[in-house]
Structure 1
Amino acid sequence: MPPMLPAAFTTRASLATVLPSSLAALSGAQNDLGLPRLEHVVVIVVDGLGAAALRARAGHARTLAPMLGKATTIDAGFPTTTAAALATLTTGTTPGEHGLVGYRVRDAAGRLTNQLNGWDERMDPAVWQRSRTVFEHAAEQGVKTRAIGLPKFTGSGFTAAVLRGAEFVGVQSLAGRFDAAAEALAASGPGLTYLYVAELDQLAHARGWESSDWTAALETLDALVADFARRLGPGRGALLTADHGVVDVPESGHILYDTAPELLTEVAEIAGEPRLLHVYLDEGASATAVAERWRDAEGDRSWVATRSEAIDAGWFGPVVHPEVAPRIGDVLVAPRKRIAYYDGRDPQRTGRNMVGQHGSLTPEETRVPLLRFGAAG
């Protein structure tokens, strides 16, 4: 019998509904989030702000935390990695449709490609990311759209893949990004603005979400959101959400899979990220047999599934396009405890300095806030 696996996101209240609902609200159309008619919506995306972490640091978020309840969290989907989740947010489709199924995956040429910064001339963002963005739909409806983020993302392949159709505005400081969003609000006519907050995720990776630095950044964000909410005028609303949560993994939780040779039998390459391995097999190898070996060794602390089992469980959404399926590992390993997988043979110890991690299916990683401000409330 196939293993019991957790189902991935299937509810209407998911990250995939946020931008489509926001666009629908600009014309007064019905939408999954029940937003009223609005003239301008700002969607604030806080990278790495999981609902569990926000709840745990409630005393440091006097604006955000009191708004957090059962009805104000949504499912970020799977995998809980920025490349996949932001594509889900900006297209309103799931990874099996838009095609960004992980952090580092295998492309049609057999190369392992980083979905955030590995774009090159052989990987066209307009083709690899298969879905039209909400910004492209908005432009057809005469809606002015802006995407406000860090200047370093200007013109990147990932920006072209997930933010196409929006005017990109690069602003270095977090306060400056909120000021840019306030300027966008002042424009007449229907508008949809995307505001990206990178700082909490960066600090979580470097020091952990349980660190004092992360907590201080949350306090700064909370104050900026409170000020921004006060600047929302009639017909203006804002939503705050996140692409995923974070789990802090101690060094004692680093699992070196190369120390168990049976796990590498018939394995060609391992990609993904430390909390979601995409295991690609040698030609002719049995995914079922490899999955069983991983399950025997790691099944007490990780979910292990073949590609077909993961697709059947809805991990990548209700539909996985035939063009997208080969990008998914033949076998997937998703931790359910505070562990992360590494290759001990890597002389660079890649990623071993990260504290905060994400990618898997735990509630700490998949449940994110959806908070409403101004006329969107």
Structure 2
Amino acid sequence: MSHQPLVPAYGTSTIADVVPSVAASLGVDGWPDALGLPAASRWVILLVDGLGAHNLADAAEHAPFLMSLVGADASTTVTSGVPSTTATSITCLGTGLTPGQHGIVGYAFRNPIDCGCLNALAWAPGVSALDLQPRLTAFEKLSRQGVTLTSVSPARFEGSGLTEAGLRGARFQPVPDEDDHAARIQWTVDAAASGDRSLVYLYERSLDHTGHGQGWRSDAWRAALARIDTMARTLRAALPADIRLLITGDHGMMDSPKDRWIVAEDVPGLTDGLTLLAGEGRFRQLYAEPRDVDAVLARWRKKLGERAWVVRREEAIEADWFGFVEKRVLDRYGDVLVAMRGDWALMTRTQPNEFGLIGMHGSLTEREMRVPVLIA
């Protein structure tokens, strides 16, 4: 087990630095090029949900095209934000902001409107994306600066809370059939050719879905990786040479066997004093009344020991887990944060659907945090 969490270097090498670096490559004024990308007037970003750098390296034989780009000019690795989860990382990508700035602070967290639990993937009825994320996205800013932006994403995500919070500003090209790679590639090629300068965001989620259900070590996960590798190769061949392709992920994945699960409600006294238990199996956010926070912190540290990093919210902020945290975002984070170490998971009976998972993510381990940035 690593003794220290992998803390993002915001402004230097995180998923939030990708689009600003692409903007600098496009020649748009005022954007920092943290990643040193080659100059180009057209870019496609292929975001493969669940593509961790370590997962890819360990399954290299199933992804010959992607592996051929590792070590190529400008290819590198970055980290996700914290927690290392889709809702947070995709919002980092589309906004160019740290989690503490954009406020989508995890998979599930305290809703600042009604203080209930907000699932950032399913969203809540009556909650506007602008209520939770009022900052201009990087896509909105670039659109105002003359870049043509398109999001090629599953049709079901059109107008969703997460799409509007993190990716607004791009024209939405719905994909009704995600298995129709030819159609997705053609839409991407057409969108990339639009306008004088263009950026296309193409989202692929099958790897993450397969990993959650069957584990990243499974044959099914490797087969999904191979299909994505073929799609990426075909996409690169279909794009004109002057259009650059950037392939990245939003987080990696850790398989957690059931004998490494701690069920919160089954540990005597563990949930005492909590007003809300949110987050996900690898990164839990604990909310309590101010008078109970010290006791909650002590209890969870004692019960979990070396199986987790258990910290106060203030400790995590001081350690820069979330980048700069705006005041409006502060109370969305748990009073106590539990980031699991090794392959442990912290489960809760309030979320029974999570008991079907094998692959998980959210914590600050190398495997979950580090993602590739591959340039083709």
User: Normalised by the shorter chain, which TM-score bucket?
Assistant: over 0.9
Q: Is the 8 A contact 1:120 1:157 kept in 2?
A: no
* Partner of residue 24, structure 2: 24
Code of the residue aligned with 1:350 in structure 2: it is N
1:1-377 residue pairs with structure 2 within 5 A? 6=5, 8-10=7-9, 12-27=12-27, 31-69=33-71, 72-108=76-112, 109-121=114-126, 123-171=127-175, 172-174=177-179, 175=181, 176-281=183-288, 283-317=289-323, 319-344=324-349, 346=350, 349-373=352-376
Moved more, 180-189 or 204-213: 180-189
Deviation at 1:259, TM superposition (A): 2.0
Deviation string, structure 1 residues 314-347 (Cα, Å, up to 9, x no partner): 1111x11111010000111110121211224x4x
Counting matched residue pairs gives 365
RMSD (CA atoms): 1.8
Amino-acid identity (%): 38
Q: How many Å separate the matches in 1 of 2:341 and 2:68?
A: 28
Code of the residue aligned with 1:186 in structure 2: it is A
Q: Is the 8 A contact 1:93 1:131 kept in 2?
A: no
Q: How many Å separate the matches in 2 of 1:308 and 1:110?
A: 20
Secondary structure of 2:173's match? strand
Deviation at 1:5, TM superposition (A): 5.9
Q: How many Å separate the matches in 1 of 2:224 and 2:28?
A: 36
Deviation string, structure 1 residues 174-201 (Cα, Å, up to 9, x no partner): 4132221112223341101000001101
Deviation at 1:107, TM superposition (A): 1.6
Deviation at 1:228, TM superposition (A): 1.6
Q: How many Å separate the matches in 2 of 1:7 and 1:251?
A: 25
Q: Is the 8 A contact 1:99 1:130 kept in 2?
A: no
TM-score by length of 2: 0.93
Deviation string, structure 1 residues 8-58 (Cα, Å, up to 9, x no partner): 212502111111111221126661222232111001100001011100110
Moved more, 168-177 or 157-166: 168-177
Deviation at 1:59, TM superposition (A): 0.5
Q: Which 5+ residue runs of structure 2 have no aligned equivalent?
A: none
Q: How many Å separate the matches in 1 of 2:363 and 2:84?
A: 6
Q: Which 5+ residue runs of structure 1 have no aligned equivalent?
A: none
